């Protein structure tokens, strides 16, 4: 048997500044040595979130925006 991580767990962990290794370690402590996976839906949700974050940064004149600082 295995465990599928929900998107909300990954997002909450990322907001706390935890690395993926920490998330996996904590999951294994709580559930033992099992297979851990993401569903296809979670992958799409995370990808969409990354896309939106980049778009919002551009709209707000972020560091990578043509309108933002050009120190790169």
pLDDT digits (tens, 9 = 90+) for 1-55: 889 988 888 888 878 888 888 888 888 899 988 899 989 998 888 888 888 877 6
36 forms beta bridges with 3
CA distance 19 to 27: 13
CA distance 63 to 60: 9
CA distance 17 to 11: 10
CA distance 46 to 8: 10
21: left (phi over 0), alpha (psi -120 to 50) or beta: alpha
Predicted TM-score (pTM) of this structure: 0.59
């Amino acid at each position: 048997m295995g465990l599928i991580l929900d998107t909300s767990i990954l997002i909450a962990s990322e907001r706390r500044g935890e690395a993926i290794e920490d998330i996996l370690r904590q999951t294994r402590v709580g559930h033992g040595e099992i297979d851990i996976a993401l569903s296809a839906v979670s992958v799409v949700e995370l990808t969409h979130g990354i896309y939106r974050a980049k778009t919002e940064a551009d709209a707000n004149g972020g560091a990578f925006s043509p309108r933002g600082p050009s120190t790169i």
